[in-house]
Amino acid sequence: MAAEAHLQDITHTIQLAVAPVFLLSAIGTTLSVVTTRLGRIVDRARRVETRLDAAEGAERAETLVELATLRGRVRLIHWALSLGTSSAILVCLLIVVGFLGYLLDVRVGTAMAAIFVLALAVYVGALLSFLREVLTAIRTLRLGQPRPDGAAPPGPAAP
């Protein structure tokens, strides 16, 4: 009977650890998306830096503005990655504390609740940084609008 109760305790502990694993999976997916965006921003910045070498006058000023915007986007993505990774680490810590609490027969419910709330708060911060970066990217789109120097946007002419 005691062995059965012990098995139920272990099973319950594993069940409690599974819920944070789903959160960890969501965080991992988010980090993958954010990392991909970082790569695209870096690639764009390299192309713009190459263009800067040949640019003069108004085109150079516009290129410098674009580089400044890209630098800001990289900063936001950096925050999203840092906060997302911190959140993942906190979720891992949550799982470890749960298992250690069980193995050492220590009450860790309050600590686990605090770690879980902190992990979610940090994840929200990561998502907000990511959202801000996306909004910055959208704000800088021209979508067929003329450039500030009056030149036509690149692409085929309208019929």
> Is residue 80 over pLDDT 80?
yes
Instruction: Summarize pLDDT for 21-65 with one digit per residue, the tens.
Output: 889 999 999 999 999 999 999 999 999 998 888 888 888 889 899
- This prediction's pTM: 0.79
Instruction: Summarize pLDDT for 89-112 with one digit per residue, the tens.
Output: 999 999 899 889 888 989 998 999
**What is the pLDDT at residue 55?**
82
> Is residue 155 over pLDDT 50?
no
CA gap 124, 121 in Å, rounded: 5
3-state helix, strand and coil shares in percent for the chain, rounded to the nearest 5: 80, 0, 20
**What is the pLDDT at residue 86?**
98
What does the block give as tokens for 6?
């012990």
Length of the chain: 159
**What is the pLDDT at residue 54?**
83
